């Protein structure tokens, strides 16, 4: 059973129950009020008849001039008075009982019996059905004292019209309740379907998302709980869409990464195999050629080693638990500068360092790799006889590191791509210098692991500046 059907049937059942209970209570209240009024009317009429009997007996005694009528005389006088009472549509019959409940005079309708006598001596009323169809009588019995004898006066009052009226009211109430219930059911059905219509849209939206349409959104116009749910569905769809796009982007980046890796490894391997074949084949190779071929093979092997080392470092950076300890940046820079001296000497480059004692929380080996790659990239981009500059300073709660060269620079449209794996601005120069396009990608990963940022600013023909920002280690830093 669907939700709208459950809500509709539950609400309808509750509404019908309340309507029926209200109708029953109203009918019962009306019936009790009418019967109480009718009973009061009958008792009043009955008291009037009893008064006639008592007055008539007293009058009979006065006419005979006696102090007290005999019992037989009293009964005869009472019967005569009863015979003089005419019945009508309301007073259906009379009956007089003696003290022993023996009928002295009986004109009650067929099937009507007097109420049972009680010791309280009060007027008793009882509703009875007559022998004829749709005939109802309200019988009243009142204790009556005539002279010295005790009697009971019983009268039957026709209340069939009142009973029919009550039955008709009950039928009308049932019909009215049924009609109102049907009308309410129709209105309730339309209201429930209208209120729950957004649920259908939510269901279709969920199915659309499950089918791969992550751009599907719901138009939220109301301010109820369903609108909140629709808004949550939109947020969910947006999150799913963003996640799927991220996964697709990661998958595409991995595909490009693998393709570039295969391409980058293919070139040196081809060179190594080609020149190795030249040395292996049984042919005359001069000493000069042998040295040349061996140097080419050695260079390509070194390139493969550098490629595999950077690739391994890049791939394992996110899966290895790094150890961060406070370390003096000035000492790290000096060690990196010493390791770069042979390479700088080859092209007559000078390196100036301006780095006061400054402590950072770092993984020392990774941070050395970061600085080495940045300075090595600056070296490759600089002309022979040029210069490089390294500086670090504390700005507020951060340490700002700058690496500057005055080389060929990077085109503005290339700045947002240079940190992609295997991306090289000038592929011919980079390969000639032994690069594979992994250095800056590795630098970006190391900077991210150290909760830092890396930005590039460059002008063609004027050089490039790399700006690194890291949180300051306040525990041991003299600048804190």
φ, ψ of residue 106 in degrees (nearest 5): -135, 120
pLDDT at 67: 82
Query: Cα–Cα distances in Å, from 437 out to 92, 200, 277, 326, 367?
Result: 120, 53, 29, 31, 19
- pLDDT of 113 > 60? The answer is yes
Close Cβ partners of 208 (under 8 Å, ≥ 6 residues apart): 216
- pLDDT of 121 > 90? The answer is no
pLDDT at 111: 82
- pLDDT of 400 > 90? The answer is yes
pLDDT digits 0-9 by tens, 175-234? 887 888 788 888 888 887 777 777 777 777 777 777 777 777 777 666 777 677 777 777
State the Cα–Cα distance between residues 132 and 88, nearest whole angstrom.
17
Query: Cα–Cα distances in Å, from 247 out to 181, 251, 332, 418, 449?
Result: 56, 6, 38, 22, 21
- pLDDT of 450 > 90? The answer is no
Range 11-39 average pLDDT? 82
Burial (CB count <10 Å: 0-12, 13-18, 19+), residue 441: buried
The answer to whether 139 touches 125, Cβ cutoff 8 Å, is: yes
- pLDDT of 350 > 80? The answer is yes
Question: Residue 108's pLDDT band (boundaries 50, 70, 90)?
Answer: confident
pTM: 0.43
% pLDDT > 70, the chain: 83
pLDDT at 431: 43
pLDDT at 465: 92
The answer to whether 427 touches 264, Cβ cutoff 8 Å, is: no
DSSP-derived pairing of the beta strands 149-158 and 103-106: unpaired
pLDDT at 239: 84
- pLDDT of 434 > 50? The answer is no
pLDDT at 308: 67
Question: Residue 436's pLDDT band (boundaries 50, 70, 90)?
Answer: very low
> 341 vs 258, which has greater pLDDT?
341
Least confident of 167-181, 258-272, 421-435, 457-471: 421-435
> 447 vs 315, which has greater pLDDT?
447
Burial (CB count <10 Å: 0-12, 13-18, 19+), residue 220: middle
pLDDT at 428: 44
pLDDT at 391: 94
Domains in the chain and their CATH numbers?
A: 3-179 (3.30.450.20), 214-312 (1.10.287.130), 317-471 (3.30.565.10)
For all residues of the chain together, what is the average pLDDT?
79
- pLDDT of 307 > 70? The answer is no
- pLDDT of 267 > 60? The answer is no
Q: How are strands ordered across the β-sheet holding 350-354?
A: 350-354, 387-395, 398-405, 463-471, 453-459
């Amino acid at each position: 059973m669907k939700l709208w059907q459950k809500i509709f049937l539950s609400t309808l059942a509750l509404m019908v129950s309340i309507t029926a209970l209200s109708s029953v209570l109203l009918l019962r209240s009306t019936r009790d009020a009418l019967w109480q009024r009718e009973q009061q009317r009958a008792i009043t009429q009955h008291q009037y008849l009893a008064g006639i009997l008592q007055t008539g007996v007293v009058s009979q005694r006065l006419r005979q001039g006696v102090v007290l009528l005999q019992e037989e005389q009293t009964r005869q006088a009472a019967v005569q008075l009863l015979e003089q009472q005419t019945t009508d549509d309301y007073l259906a019959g009379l009956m007089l009982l003696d003290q022993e409940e023996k009928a002295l005079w009986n004109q009650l309708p067929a099937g009507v019996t007097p109420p049972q006598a009680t010791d309280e001596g009060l007027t008793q009323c009882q509703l009875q059905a007559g022998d004829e169809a749709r005939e109802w009588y309200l019988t009243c019995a009142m204790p009556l004292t005539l002279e010295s004898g005790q009697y009971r006066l019983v009268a039957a009052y026709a209340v069939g019209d009142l009973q029919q009226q009550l039955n008709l009211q009950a039928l009308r109430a049932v019909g009215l309740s049924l009609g109102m219930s049907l009308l309410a059911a129709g209105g309730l059905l339309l209201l429930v379907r209208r209120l729950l219509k957004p649920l259908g849209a939510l269901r279709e939206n969920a199915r659309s998302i499950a089918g791969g349409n992550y751009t599907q959104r719901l138009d939220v116009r109301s301010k109820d709980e369903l609108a909140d749910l629709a808004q949550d569905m939109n947020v969910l769809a947006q999150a799913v869409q963003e996640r799927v796009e991220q996964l697709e982007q990661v998958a595409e980046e991995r595909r490009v990464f693998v393709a570039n890796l295969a391409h980058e490894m293919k070139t040196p391997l081809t060179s190594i195999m080609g020149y190795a074949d030249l040395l292996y084949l049984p042919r005359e190779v001069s000493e000069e050629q042998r040295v040349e071929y061996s140097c080419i093979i050695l260079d390509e092997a070194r390139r493969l080693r550098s490629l595999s080392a950077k690739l391994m470092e890049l791939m394992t950076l996110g899966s290895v638990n790094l150890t961060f300890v406070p370390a003096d940046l000035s000492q790290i820079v000096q060690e990196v500068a010493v390791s770069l001296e042979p390479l700088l000497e080859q092209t007559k480059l000078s390196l100036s360092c301006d780095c006061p004692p400054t402590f950072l929380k770092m993984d020392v080996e990774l941070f050395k790799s970061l600085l080495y790659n940045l300075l090595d990239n600056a070296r490759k981009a600089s002309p022979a006889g040029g210069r490089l500059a390294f500086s670090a300073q504390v700005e507020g709660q951060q340490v700002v590191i700058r690496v500057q060269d005055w080389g060929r620079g990077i085109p503005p449209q290339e700045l947002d791509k240079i940190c992609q794996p295997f991306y090289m601005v000038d592929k011919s120069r980079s390969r000639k210098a032994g690069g594979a396009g992994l250095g800056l990608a590795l630098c970006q990963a190391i900077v991210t692991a150290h909760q830092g940022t890396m930005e590039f600013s460059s002008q063609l023909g004027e050089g490039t500046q790399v700006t690194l920002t890291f949180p300051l280690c306040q525990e041991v830093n003299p600048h804190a």
